Amino acid sequence: MIAKNDTLSIARQCKILNICRTAYYYRPEISKANLELMRQIDELFTEDPSRGTRRICAALRRLGVNIGRGKVRRIMDRMGLSAIYCKVNLSKFSPDHKKYPYLLRGVKITRVNQVWSTDITYIRLRNGFVYLTAVIDWYSRYVLSWRLSTTLETAFCKDALEEAIANFGKPEIFNTDQGSQFTSEEFTGVLRQHGIAISMDGRGRALDNVFVERLWRTVKYEHIFLNDYGSVPECQKGLHAFFDRYNNRREHQALDYKFPKEVYFSSSVDTCKAA
């Protein structure tokens, strides 16, 4: 998809394709054995996100994999996976970054652009892995933007946020976990600049960002696990088709079997008329 000898620069081609330049230059530096372990851990974790290192280790041993808990922990850390259950520290955060209170306790979600949220998940490839972030509207489940990256840096999260705001306006409240990407000044500065109220999941709360967690489960079971992508551009192309179907042609039981696009845009029109 990206040509070295094209008249456009590599940076420009990556921007057009919504791919971080790090994704283009990425070359896997991990053994095939560890890649297979990561594939198995990803499936076990997606099946039951409450599985921690102990249960993942036990499940792998049942599958005939001789592995210790320490190695499982190291691999899960590299994948950015952490068991979802009430505990002291739900995500890796930076003590130097400002934390914001959770603003959604007891709040009823009744309209589009009332609450947006984002998160990061691990996406496996045939010979490596990447990370996926997405911005979602809580009321309609509409995916407003998404990005892939080979690293857990803040830049690709910020890019997704800025694209969502540029294309769909702004929410009243933006919710994230306390991961260092989302507590960084680079990310929160964009939210403050647009006058968006910042909400962050409380440490030890498992369900504060449940809509994004459900999205990741859908992405993996309905797409990633069914496709064996060998490269970042191939994965990018496949996810583009998936999110197009997810937003425009996939019925959601929680939406009375409507499509997210129908709910998001019809509600947006109704809101504008009311105003």
Query: Domain containing 248: what range?
Result: 115-274
- pLDDT per position as a tens digit, 73-125: 998 888 877 776 543 333 455 556 688 999 998 899 999 999 999 999 989 88
56 plus 163 within the same structural domain: no
In-domain check, residue 248:
yes
Contact 60, 41 (CB under 8 A): yes
Mark which of 64, 79, 94 sits at the end of a domain.
Answer: 79
Looking at every residue in the chain, the average pLDDT score rounds to 85
Residue-level length of the chain: 275
Least confidently predicted of 21-25, 129-133, 177-181, 261-265: 21-25
d(CA 55, CA 266): 44
Q: 6-20: per-residue pLDDT in tens?
A: 667 777 777 776 767
**Residue 61 has which token pair?**
């041993």
pLDDT, one tens digit per residue, over 240-273 is: 999 999 999 999 998 999 999 999 999 765 554 4
Please identify, among 51, 79, 107, the residue that sits at the C-terminal boundary of a domain. 79
- Residue 91 has a pLDDT of 45
pLDDT over 70 percentage in the chain: 82
- Confidence check: pLDDT of 137 > 80: yes
CATH, residue 216: 3.30.420.10
pTM, 2 dp? 0.73
Residue 5 domain-assigned (yes or no): no
Q: Between helices 53-62 and 32-47, what is the axis angle to 10°?
A: 110
Q: 26 and 122 share a domain?
A: no
Do 75 and 119 sit in the same domain of this protein?
A: no
* Overall average pLDDT of the 10-31 stretch: 67
Domain count, the chain: 2
